[in-house]
Amino acid sequence: MELDDLILISVDDHIIEPPDMFVNHLHRRYWGDAPQLVHREDGTDVWTFRDVVIPNAALNAVAGRPKSEYGMEPQGLDEIRPGCYDVHERVKDMSAGGILAQMNFPSFPGFAARLFATDDPGFSLALVQAYNDWHVDEWCAAYPGRFIPMALPVIWDARLCADEVRRNAAKGVHSLTFTENPAALGYPSFHDPYWNPLWEALVDTDTVLSVHIGSSGRLSVPAVDSPPDVMITLQPMNIVSAAADLLWSRVIKDYPGIKIALSEGGTGWIPYFLERVDRTYEMHSTWTLQDFGGKLPSEVFREHFLTCFISDPLGVRLRHDIGIDNICWEADYPHSDSMWPHAPEELHGVFTENAVPDADIAKMTHENAMRWYSFDPFAHIPKENATVGALRNAVADHDVSTQSRSHRVVAPEDKLAGYRERARRAVAAR
């Protein structure tokens, strides 16, 4: 397949929320208590909510910036590409990067919207619903066919969460962002019947549980004074634990229609994982009393779990060991792992080096995403206008050059010192 003929749908990207997102969707009586974006004297912008302050960390929005500006220090909205928070600019960036459609995870509320869990249940629910209505009715609806809509969960109440899944499914939403470890957030584990109403709602509405790495706030870092490279390297490891926890859980057995996406978890680890779960089943199921109805755990995994990759040459080579119908592509815009705007070139190179046939490419780049998330962009955009070449031609004048945007020059040693201090405070706050 030629590079310009690729059709790319990404199942993992991110929004840096705009300051006016609650205006049209949160009841007026809550405006004074709602999260606010505050511009500070040092030039940074932070979301404040009660006694919580959430900065825009630099690694979360470095698309189009030089690597010298990567880091964990806070930044202002005027230091990042407008496409991070402006839907009109986002779509231009997508087209210039050859990307037909994206699914956008939240930023400041956290992947599981834990921030919105307050001592006022009515206010908490209003915040989640306002965010979801903004995301679906404004962000996604602005450009039909360009976004896979996603809902935030009501993480603190399984029944209300189920209701919110059904409410959003009625508007065409078939993805729910969720934590990879609810127990780490102080809620019942996946194994607790507490979540049964949620599993029922997900199955009834054909909604995917999209479990993003780091969504429990617990990363696999050996020590607080470890280099940041350790944290970055181990980020996918929590998703491996979640995959095992869910695969062996009763959820898979009691709800055979459940669908789970391991978001931003990569794919290269999966063949070994599947060998290991089958070995575990063979050696221990007589006393652990696991029963998959005559199937191997690896077979059950392929029935229920979706995986995704950015480039993953190893995962692409081992795609049939993973399951070719279980793999999607992700761009991770505007995070630091993103290949934007050159994702098509890097991805095409991986496909070419591994002699991947067109049918497999189509599944991994867009067909699997469409099927798993009940998403049909071609109902709005003719297929001939959805390719990398066509999208780029449509915005040929859009500037995607690498540009310095930071107002402050921060020396690498100061970036490291700031990271370690924030890590120590995070550990002390647990």
Q: How far apart are CA 15 and CA 106, in angstroms?
A: 6
Q: Which domains does the chain have, with CATH numbers?
A: 3-429 (3.20.20.140)
pLDDT in tens, the chain (430 residues): 999 999 999 999 999 999 999 999 999 999 999 999 999 988 889 999 999 998 876 567 888 888 887 876 778 889 899 999 999 999 999 999 999 999 999 999 999 999 999 999 999 999 999 999 999 999 999 999 999 999 999 999 999 999 999 999 999 999 999 999 999 999 999 999 999 999 999 999 999 999 998 877 665 555 667 787 887 777 777 789 999 999 999 999 999 999 999 999 999 999 999 999 999 999 999 999 999 999 999 999 999 999 999 999 999 999 999 999 999 999 999 998 899 999 999 999 999 999 999 999 999 999 999 999 999 999 999 999 999 999 999 999 999 998 888 877 677 776 666 666 656 655 555 5
CA–CA separation, 244 and 233 (whole Å): 20
CB 14 within 8 A of CB 105: yes
Among candidate residues 75, 79, 87, 80, the one with its CA nearest the CA of residue 20: 87
pLDDT of residue 218: 60
What phi-psi label fits residue 205: left (phi over 0), alpha (psi between -120 and 50 degrees) or beta? Answer: alpha
pLDDT at position 422: 59
Cα–chain center distance at 57: 16
How many C-beta atoms lie closer than 10 Å to residue 46's C-beta?
A: 18
Please, what is the Cα angle at 99 between 58 and 385, to 5 degrees? 155
- Other Cβ atoms less than 10 A from the Cβ of 93: the count is 26
Closest CA to 268 of 230, 221, 219, 233: 233
* Dist. CA 109–CA 132, nearest whole Å: 12
For residue 214, CA distances in Å to 112, 130, 181, 232 come to: 10, 24, 9, 11
Written as six digits, the tokens of 152 are 């935030």
Cβ contacts of 68 within 8 Å, gap of 6 or more:
404
Beta partners for 260? 209, 305
Tokens of 301: 């995994």
